[in-house]
């Protein structure tokens, strides 16, 4: 009796063993109750027409291992039964190529059809995702195809292991020991990517070093490409535009110089000899000091097309539109549009222009980039930041699917009588996310940041998925299947990014982070060498008011949008308040729709942000019975940091605005505990990611 009681008490604890997050959403924790019984009843052999093809073999082994996890089988080679439960046809003529798959249930059999092996691999992960949430295998029907061909991660990882804007330790790439040593992480990384449909990886920083194009590095990339090929992942490289001079011995990198073109063609040939399915080059040119075609009075199209010709039909040039110039006095947010729209129609077929989600730089909130929809003759790709450079690094909980969805779902007002959303504009090309991975055991520096990697892949596969459903499926696979706990976690995630917006950049403010590292508030920074590096440039606050006038009376950045979109943001009285200070300069005493003054509204926003973080911390405490102690504590500690830092943001920002206008805090608002000078004195020269 006593023994039985004891073991009954131990069971739930055993299922909450300490976890360090390494397994990401691929834990495949054992099912219980009815869903376990249903899977037990279904389980049997997995067969395929061509089981030895490397990717088909993976589809089988991943499915088997995942099923064994869900079934709680300690012995992964355990007998699986004598009949067929899963049958793959990975050469099915009725399915579209490119990763699509169809799963059809019949009596105790799931038929899995795809045109290519990678479709079968994606199907395995989809089955496990569904079963892992408790789905019934006897009715599991799925028909799924990727919405866009390129679903990529961009790593800002440097060859010395430092990650620009990385908050999860050092780089996951062990360049020093490659190609001889291939860390198991490189396989686990490929699994994680493939499980959410990511099929391309740019392995080095866009602020690129030319020596990474030398033969010794090509051998390293080739080892990775070989390891990732079965997972359907192609390797891409960031290429430094001046490489012909830096490492090629030429005296110019002029894209119209035949010697330069020949150098790049030879370089491409050399790469393709080692990596037959090399994806292509990503280029940051004439941006933030990087070399580019404009150094020779050539255009972005001249530069991109020259590289594209070198690749030929073997690969793609992805050319970034993130450009702004020190010499140009115009509103920085207007410069990419101004440089690129005139080039529409001039880019070669195998060139894609990669555009950040917004016209500034990965802020907690920006309106969508006006280039989306404005270059109908050019393939445009979306670039989002998975790493949280401007959203509190790894310690702030900010689930980013709502941010990306806001942009993907935006109506560009262009594209014909039926206007296109951003998601429709990028559908022929794809999405790139700046990776948040690092050497930390949990990969991303915090458990919740794994969700952003996951959600990025899921949205690139299907931008129509709701951020709520992605949060829920991620949390069910990552933390717990308990419905009530899942409801709490999902709600926490869904509100988290808005909380960050409110305590950092409320009502359309942007780029008020401290200089360089972008950690913490720095709205008072006004004296940097370039005006458009200064927070003051963006908020334009003084004793009278605050905000950047982008109407025709100001920079007229509004005019870069389609007329319907412009109209929706043109009037400070009717603009969505979330974009108010992005587009308008507003007096502190302006009466807002709330009936309060702008100043009082702003204070209200900061306070709401702080309160939302307090609520996140409280909600997380209630989840202790459902989450293993190690990860529960890790998240709780991050939330405690976020609570402190949300207050810091609120107090430092309010102290600065107050120093400009001298208005008292609205009645009832918490006092600001320190002086502005105290906040300004804080310095973090050692902040990560710089």
Rule CB under 6 A: which residues touch ligand GCW? 156, 164-165, 206-207, 284, 288, 322, 361-362, 389
Tokens of 496: 């988290």
Q: At what angle do helices 54-71 and 117-132 cross, to 10 degrees?
A: 10
Tokens of 682: 């804080």
First to last CA, the chain: 61
Nearer Cβ to ligand GCW, position 519 or 582? 519
Confirm whether 116 is a catalytic residue: no
Nearer Cβ to ligand GCW, position 228 or 362? 362
User: CA distances (Å), 69 to each of 27, 190, 668, in order?
Assistant: 8, 19, 54
Output the residue with the shortest Cβ distance to ligand GCW: 361
Q: Which of 413, 340, 355, 350 is nearest to 385 (CA)?
A: 355
Q: Which residue has the tokens 């458009």?
A: 532
Nearer Cβ to ligand GCW, position 134 or 521? 521
- The minimum distance between CB 390 and ligand GCW, in angstroms, equals 8
Nearer Cβ to ligand GCW, position 207 or 419? 207
Local structure of 191: helix, strand or coil: helix
- The minimum distance between CB 690 and ligand GCW, in angstroms, equals 8
Beta-strand pair 280-283/234-238:
parallel
- The minimum distance between CB 678 and ligand GCW, in angstroms, equals 27
| Integer Cα distance of 76 and 61 in angstroms | 10
- The minimum distance between CB 389 and ligand GCW, in angstroms, equals 6
Nearer Cβ to ligand GCW, position 58 or 285? 285
The helix (run of H) or strand (run of E) holding residue 265 is helix 258-274
Catalytic residue among 302, 361, 442, 498: 361
Q: Across 190-314, where does the E strand assignment appear? A: 200-202, 234-238, 280-283
- The minimum distance between CB 355 and ligand GCW, in angstroms, equals 11
Handedness of CA 223, 226, 231, 234 (dihedral sign): positive
Catalytic residue among 288, 542, 571, 678: 288
- The minimum distance between CB 287 and ligand GCW, in angstroms, equals 6
**How is residue 354 annotated by DSSP?**
E
Phi, psi of 288 (to 5 degrees): 45, 45
Contact residues for 79 (Cβ-Cβ < 8 A; gap 6+): none
| Integer Cα distance of 1 and 343 in angstroms | 80
Confirm whether 361 is a catalytic residue: yes
Catalytic residue among 91, 389, 449, 628: 389
Tokens of 247: 């490492």
In the 3-class helix/strand/coil scheme, how is 532-575 assigned residue by residue? HHCHHHHHCCCCCEECCCCCCCCCCHHHHCCHHHHHHHCCCCCC
Nearer Cβ to ligand GCW, position 324 or 524? 324
Quickly count helices (H) and strands (E) in the chain.
Answer: 21, 15
- The minimum distance between CB 8 and ligand GCW, in angstroms, equals 54
Please list the active-site residues.
288, 361, 389
């Amino acid at each position: 009796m006593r023994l039985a009681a004891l073991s009954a008490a131990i069971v739930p604890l055993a299922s909450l063993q300490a976890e360090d997050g390494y397994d990401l959403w691929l834990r495949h924790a054992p099912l219980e109750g009815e869903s376990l019984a249903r899977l037990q009843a279904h389980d049997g052999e997995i067969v395929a027409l061509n089981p030895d093809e490397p990717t088909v073999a993976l589809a089988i082994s991943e499915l088997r291992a995942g099923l064994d996890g869900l079934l709680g089988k300690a012995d992964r080679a355990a007998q699986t039964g004598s009949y067929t439960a899963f049958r793959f046809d990975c050469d099915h003529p009725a399915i579209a190529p490119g990763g699509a798959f169809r799963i059809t249930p019949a009596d105790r059999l799931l038929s899995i059809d795809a045109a290519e092996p990678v479709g079968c691999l994606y199907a395995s992960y989809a089955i496990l995702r569904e079963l892992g949430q408790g789905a019934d295998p006897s009715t599991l029907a799925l028909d799924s195809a990727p919405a866009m061909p390129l679903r990529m991660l961009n790593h800002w990882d440097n060859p010395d292991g430092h990650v620009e804007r990385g908050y999860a330790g050092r780089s996951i790439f062990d360049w020093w020991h490659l190609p001889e040593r291939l860390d198991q992480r490189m396989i686990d990384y490929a699994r994680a990517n493939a499980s959410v449909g990511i099929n391309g990886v740019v392995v080095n920083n866009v602020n690129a070093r030319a020596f990474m194009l030398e033969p010794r590095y090509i051998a390293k990339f080739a080892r990775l490409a070989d390891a990732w090929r079965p997972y359907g992942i192609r390797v891409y490289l960031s290429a430094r535009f001046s490489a012909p001079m830096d490492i090629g011995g030429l005296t110019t990198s002029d894209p119209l110089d035949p010697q330069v073109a020949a150098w790049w063609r030879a370089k491409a040939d050399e790469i393709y000899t080692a990596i037959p399915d090399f994806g292509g080059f990503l280029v940051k040119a004439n941006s933030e000091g990087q070399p580019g075609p404009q150094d020779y009075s050539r255009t972005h199209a001249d530069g991109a097309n020259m590289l594209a010709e070198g690749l030929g039909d073997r690969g793609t040039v992805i050319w970034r539109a993130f450009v702004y110039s020190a010499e140009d006095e115009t509103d920085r947010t207007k410069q990419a549009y101004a440089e690129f729209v005139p080039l529409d129609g001039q880019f070669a077929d195998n060139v894609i222009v990669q555009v950040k989600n917004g016209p500034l730089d990965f802020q907690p909130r920006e309106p969508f980039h006006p280039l989306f929809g404005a270059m109908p003759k050019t393939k445009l790709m979306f670039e989002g930041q998975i790493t949280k450079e401007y959203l509190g690094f790894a310690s702030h909980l900010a689930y980013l699917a709502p941010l990306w969805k806001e942009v993907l779902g935006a109506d560009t007002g262009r594209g014909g009588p039926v206007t296109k959303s951003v998601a429709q504009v990028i559908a022929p090309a794809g999405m790139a996310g700046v990776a948040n991975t690092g050497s930390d055991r949990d990969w991303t520096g915090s458990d919740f940041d794994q969700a952003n990697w996951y959600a990025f892949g899921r949205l690139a596969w299907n931008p129509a998925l709701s951020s709520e459903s992605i949060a829920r499926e991620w949390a069910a696979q990552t933390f717990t299947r308990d419905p009530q706990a899942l409801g709490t976690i999902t709600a926490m995630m869904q509100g988290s990014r808005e909380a960050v917006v409110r305590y950092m950049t409320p009502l359309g403010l942007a780029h008020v982070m401290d200089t360089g590292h972008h950690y913490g508030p720095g709205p008072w920074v006004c004296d940097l060498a370039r005006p458009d590096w200064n927070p003051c440039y963006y908020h334009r606050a003084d004793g009278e008011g605050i905000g950047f006038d982008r109407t025709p009376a100001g920079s007229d950045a509004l005019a870069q949008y389609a007329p319907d979109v412009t109209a929706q943001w043109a009037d400070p009285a009717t603009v969505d308040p979330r974009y108010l200070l992005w587009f308008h300069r507003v007096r502190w005493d302006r009466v807002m729709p709330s009936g309060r003054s702008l100043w009082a509204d702003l204070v209200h926003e900061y306070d709401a942000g702080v309160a939302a973080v307090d609520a996140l911390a409280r909600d997380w405490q209630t989840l202790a019975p459902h989450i293993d102690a190690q990860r529960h504590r890790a998240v709780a500690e991050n939330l405690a940091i976020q609570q402190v830092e949300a207050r810091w943001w609120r107090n430092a920002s309010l102290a600065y605005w107050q120093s400009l206008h001298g208005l008292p805090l609205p009645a009832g608002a918490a006092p600001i505990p320190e002086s502005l000078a105290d906040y300004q004195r804080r310095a973090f020269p050692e902040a990560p990611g710089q």
